[in-house]
């Protein structure tokens, strides 16, 4: 356990390839905090810059559904991000706990899933409305406080402020994001840029696992996982868990569509369909036989350029800039 001035470290809660996460208490005010520390003793300038960006993005998102970033501090040759201690557990932790111990191992019930899924979709929608792409939505980065039933999204280490971003071909071991949840376009192996819809794919994989207790693609081989995300259709949720009604299975499968245009175009549209399911569940006690045309209230609010225009970056940028001017005209000095 490391020693950090002004903080009493109580527990190591997570370790990744690049960072260590601790739970602790600030000595000055006895406030519970989370401390995220770069793992390398001598991090590179790029790693330090990325850490600073993570802090700034998290700090800028003053949203109920995002963990708060209090400040960033120098520690020896590295940096520490001081975060809110939400007092919760990650979905990944909950899915490893047996049902009889109030966990979700083997899949969560529909009545429990829908309110939680609605809240997660709402939180993600607010992040997108702030012009942030998370790029690493997965069960480890969604935290639930059992006492309040409130979710928060964490870990903006690879998040982007860009509305549209190119990806490059990389070794699967060095891809940004968590490979089991990554969208086809985020693999860098198809000729597509990424936008907010990459997060919706990753959320679909997360929902799939919440409902079935399984990931849609199970492989220890990185290249095979990439191939599965790009080309293989997962077994529908309802075929694995017969308690999941067709309408909910269809929602999850739509989120996981290979082409971004075939997915939900916004978290807002997803939330509407989930709320419709919840209302019918509350009214009729089950969703068997219930059907609805999905994504009828799904509007991204953003001008999406068809990917077939790829290779004509100047023309694409001109179209996007023209749309921004029309959507957000300059304020007249005579306007009241």
SS3 215: coil
Q: For domain 7-84, is the CATH number 3.40.720.10? A: no
Q: Give percent of the chain with pLDDT exceeding 70.
A: 84
Q: Strands 19-26 and 78-84: what pairing? A: unpaired
pLDDT for 323: 47
List, by residue range, all CATH 3.30.200.20 domains of the chain.
7-84
Q: What are phi and psi of 248, to 5 degrees?
A: -75, -40
Determine the 3-state secondary structure of 32 from DSSP. strand
pLDDT at 190: 84
Q: Which CATH code, of 3.50.50.60, 1.10.510.10, 3.40.50.20, 1.10.10.60, is assigned to 89-315?
A: 1.10.510.10
pTM of the entire predicted model:
0.86
Secondary structure (DSSP) of 122-180 = HHHHHHHHTT-B-S--SGGGEEEETTTTEEEE---TT-B--SSB------GGG-SS-GG
Residue 123's pLDDT is 98
**pLDDT tens, residue by residue, 183-205:** 999 998 888 889 999 999 999 99
Ranges for all domains in the chain classified under CATH 1.10.510.10: 89-315
Looking at residue 189, what is its pLDDT? 83
The answer to whether the Cα torsion of 46, 52, 56, 58 is positive or negative is positive
Question: Which residues are registered as beta bridge partners of 160?
Answer: 133
Q: Whole-angstrom Cα distance, residue 233 to residue 65?
A: 31
Q: Please tell me the predicted confidence (pLDDT) of residue 98.
A: 83
What pLDDT shows up at residue 332?
Answer: 46
DSSP labels for 54-104? Answer: HHHHHHH---TTB--EEEEEEETTEEEEEEE----EEHHHHTTS-GGGT--
Q: Are 27 and 6 in contact (CB under 8 A)?
A: yes
Q: How big is the CA angle at 128 (ends 252 and 247), to the nearest 5 degrees?
A: 15
Helix (H) or strand (E) holding 241: none
Residue 286 to residue 278: CA distance in whole angstroms: 9
Segments of the chain with pLDDT less than 70: 1, 100-102, 163-174, 300-336
Largest Cα–Cα distance of the chain, in whole Å? Answer: 65
∠ Cα 16 20 21 (to 5°): 110
């Amino acid at each position: 356990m490391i020693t950090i001035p002004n903080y009493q470290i109580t527990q190591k809660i997570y370790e990744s390839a690049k960072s260590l996460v601790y739970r602790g208490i600030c000595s000055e005010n006895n406030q519970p905090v989370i401390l995220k520390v770069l793992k390398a003793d001598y991090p590179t300038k790029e790693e330090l810059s990325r850490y600073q960006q993570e802090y700034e993005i998290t700090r800028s998102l003053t949203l109920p559904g995002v963990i708060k970033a209090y400040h960033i501090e120098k520690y020896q040759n590295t940096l520490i991000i001081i975060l809110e201690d939400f007092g919760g557990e990650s979905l990944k932790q909950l899915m490893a706990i047996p049902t009889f111990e109030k966990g979700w191992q083997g899949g969560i019930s529909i009545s429990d899933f829908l309110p939680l899924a609605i809240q997660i979709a709402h939180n993600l929608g607010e992040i997108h409305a702030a012009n942030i792409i998370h790029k690493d939505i997965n069960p480890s980065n969604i935290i639930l406080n059992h006492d309040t039933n409130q979710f928060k999204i964490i870990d903006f280490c690879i998040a982007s402020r860009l509305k549209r971003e190119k990806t490059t071909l990389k070794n699967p071991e060095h891809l940004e994001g968590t490979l089991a949840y990554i969208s086809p376009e985020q693999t860098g192996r198809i000729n597509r840029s990424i936008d907010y819809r990459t997060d919706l794919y990753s959320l679909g994989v997360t929902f799939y696992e919440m409902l079935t207790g399984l990931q849609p693609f199970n492989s220890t081989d990185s290249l095979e996982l990439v191939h599965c995300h790009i080309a293989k259709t997962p077994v529908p949720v309802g075929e694995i868990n017969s308690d999941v009604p067709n309408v909910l299975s269809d929602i999850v499968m739509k989120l996981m569509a290979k082409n971004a245009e075939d997915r939900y175009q916004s978290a807002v549209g997803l939330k509407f369909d989930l709320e419709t399911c919840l209302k019918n569940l509350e009214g009729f006690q089950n969703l068997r036989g219930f059907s609805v045309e999905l994504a009828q209230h799904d509007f991204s609010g953003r001008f999406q350029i068809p990917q077939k225009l790829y290779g004509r970056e100047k023309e694409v940028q001109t179209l996007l800039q023209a749309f921004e001017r029309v959507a957000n005209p300059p304020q007249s000095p005579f306007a009241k």
